[in-house]
């Protein structure tokens, strides 16, 4: 949600237009320029100095669009600033709507993208000064964000970003995750090199590194993070079967212990997959809710169409499927080879598979598809897919 704020006659016209054409925009302007239709249009009027209004809007909205002079906005928001990871986007528009200026939280807060959207509506010139945008290079703090990648730590974002924009040698190591993080048809900047492994990247002695992997790094690999950022792509599919009434604590413990044994990061889990009989299992729903994972379920018929290593007549007798955790993880991931076929621990059975985005990309470049049905890689399609 965005707040559009105006204090001048011309600014009110601009604000009203943005209120009509920008999704999620609430309009605020001084009651001095009231038209009489504000209630009907959902416009908020205020009296007095706008400076008194800004702290409330700064805390409530994802972004502020101020049709106020840049200097005045800077002075008013200065006491409100906390952290670039939490401050809202701030965009300033001049009184003739000739320029839309990204002022605050350009990347993480989305001000640069909001500036472009506002400029397009008003036919204004977007003014963006973030170095990575200007130089058309990797924005380290946004790298993989569109795919849901997470940082392991933000400590090195600033020095790594500096290396990128200052055209120092930068290594990108990608072991898993989506491959479309750079615009197709545009060459990578010359200072950025992609490596298949951390060992190869370390041998090149880059000034900085961006490492994309679901693995926990080995001690000898940690050196690459001395000036590096570690990203966790969402590539792990957990197949889970459990007895009715299994508590969330037991399910979570099995998951965490299993990932630790595999040396996989829990931050790379994308989905928990199971049979539709378990879609309302309280413990399972509690765990996925805690971590924000998808819960994907399949019918017994879907699960039975998947080839598995150890079909179980006992499981079939109770569920109608010859297996739950293994085929569910396979269906979601499209993987031919499992990271963990199946492990039973107490009331929980777990299987682990990785979504292989790089294999998918290779097959597409060859003009075909892999042996599995890669459409299952799409989360929204997975639950309803018939095999």
Give the separation between CA 33 and CA 374, rounded to whole angstroms: 57
Between the two ends of the chain, the Cα-to-Cα distance in Å is 41
Q: What are the tokens at 222?
A: 């940690």
pLDDT of 189 strictly over 50: yes
pLDDT at 360 over 60: no
pLDDT band at 338 (very low <50, low <70, confident <90, very high): very high
The span from the CA of 68 to the CA of 267, in Å, is: 42
Q: What is the pLDDT of residue 110?
A: 82
Whether residue 380 has pLDDT greater than 60:
no
Across all residues in the chain, what is the average pLDDT? 88
In degrees, to the nearest 5, what angle opens at C-alpha 180 toward C-alphas 179 and 185? Answer: 125
Q: What percent of the chain has pLDDT over 70?
A: 91
Q: Band of the pLDDT at 366, cuts 50, 70, 90?
A: very low
CA angle 84, 88, 89 (to 5 degrees): 95
pLDDT at 83 over 70: yes
Q: How confident is the model at residue 134 (pLDDT cuts 50, 70, 90)?
A: low
How would you write 87-153 as a 3-class SS string? CCEEEEECCCCCEEEEEECCCCCCHHHHHHHHHHHHCCEEECCCHHHHHCCCCHHHCCHHHCCEECC
Residue 295 DSSP SS3:
strand
Average pLDDT over residues 196-205: 95
Query: CA-to-CA distance for 240 and 57, rounded, in angstroms?
Result: 44
Question: What is the Cβ-side half-sphere exposure of residue 193, based on CA atoms within 13 angstroms?
Answer: 18
The pLDDT score that the predictor gives to residue 231 is: 97
For the ranges 41-55, 122-136, 159-173, 316-330, the lowest mean pLDDT is seen at 122-136
Burial of 83 (0-12, 13-18, 19+ CB in 10 A): exposed
Per-residue pLDDT for 218 more than 70?
Answer: yes
Query: How many angstroms separate the CA atoms of 129 and 99, rounded?
Result: 13
To the question of pTM greater than 0.85 for the whole model, the response is no
The yes-or-no verdict on residue 384 having pLDDT over 90 is no
83-87, 235-239, 299-303, 330-334: least confident range:
83-87
Give pLDDT, residue 135. Answer: 67
* Confidence band for 361, pLDDT divided at 50, 70 and 90: low
Which residue shows structure tokens 């952290």?
83
Can you read off the two tokens belonging to residue 285? 């729903």
Give the pLDDT confidence score for residue 105 in this predicted structure. 78
- In terms of pLDDT, which residue wins out, 141 or 1? 1
Residue 375 and residue 369 in contact, taking contact as beta carbons nearer than 8 Å: no
* pLDDT classification of 131: cutoffs 50, 70, 90: low
Per-residue pLDDT, averaged over 282-292, amounts to: 96
- Give the phi and the psi of residue 113 in degrees, each rounded to 5: -65, -40
- Stretch among 20-24, 57-61, 180-184 having the lowest mean pLDDT: 180-184
Q: Give the pLDDT band of residue 368 (cuts 50, 70, 90).
A: very low
Could you give the domains of the chain? 2-129 (3.40.50.11220), 140-232 (3.40.1390.40), 236-384 (3.30.420.180)
**Cβ atoms 242, 348 nearer than 8 A:** yes
How far apart (Å, rounded) are the C-alpha atoms in residues 118 and 124? 8
**More confidently predicted of 129 and 343:** 343
């Amino acid at each position: 949600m965005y707040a559009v704020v105006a204090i001048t006659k011309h600014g009110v016209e601009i604000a009203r237009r943005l209120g009509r054409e920008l999704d999620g925009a609430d309009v605020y302007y001084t009651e001095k320029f009231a038209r009489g239709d504000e209630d009907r249009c959902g416009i908020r009027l205020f009296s007095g100095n706008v400076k008194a209004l800004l702290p409330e809007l700064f805390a409530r909205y994802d972004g502020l669009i101020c049709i106020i002079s840049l200097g005045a906005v800077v002075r008013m928001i200065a006491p409100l600033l906390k952290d670039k990871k939490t401050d809202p986007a701030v965009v300033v528009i001049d009184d003739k709507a000739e320029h839309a200026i990204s002022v605050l939280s350009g990347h993480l807060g989305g001000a640069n993208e909001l500036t472009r959207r506002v400029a397009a509506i008003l036919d204004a010139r977007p003014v963006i000064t973030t170095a990575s945008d200007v130089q058309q290079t990797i924005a380290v703090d946004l790298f993989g964000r569109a795919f849901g990648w997470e940082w392991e730590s933000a400590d090195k974002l600033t020095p790594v970003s500096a290396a990128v924009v200052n055209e120092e040698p930068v290594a990108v190591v990608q072991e898993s995750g989506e491959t479309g993080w750079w615009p197709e048809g545009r060459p990578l900047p010359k200072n950025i090199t992609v490596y298949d492994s951390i060992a190869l990247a370390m041998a090149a002695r880059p000034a900085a590194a961006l490492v994309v992997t679901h693995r926990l790094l080995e001690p000898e690999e940690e050196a690459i993070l001395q000036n590096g950022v570690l990203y966790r792509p969402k590539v792990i599919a957990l197949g889970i079967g459990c007895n009715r009434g299994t508590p969330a604590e037991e399910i979570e413990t099995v998951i965490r212990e299993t990932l630790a044994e595999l040396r996989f990061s829990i931050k790379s889990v994308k989905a928990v997959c199971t049979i539709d009989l378990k879609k309302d299992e309280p413990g399972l729903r509690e765990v996925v809710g805690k971590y924000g994972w998808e819960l994907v379920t399949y019918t017994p018929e879907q699960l039975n169409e998947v080839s598995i290593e150890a079909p179980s007549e006992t499981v079939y007798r109770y569920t109608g499927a010859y297996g739950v955790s293994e085929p569910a993880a396979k269906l979601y991931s499209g993987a031919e080879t499992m990271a963990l076929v199946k492990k039973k621990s107490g009331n929980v059975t777990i299987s682990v598979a990785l979504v292989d985005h790089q294999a998918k990309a290779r097959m597409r470049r060859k003009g075909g598809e892999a042996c599995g049905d890669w459409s299952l890689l799409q989360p929204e399609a997975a639950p309803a897919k018939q095999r």
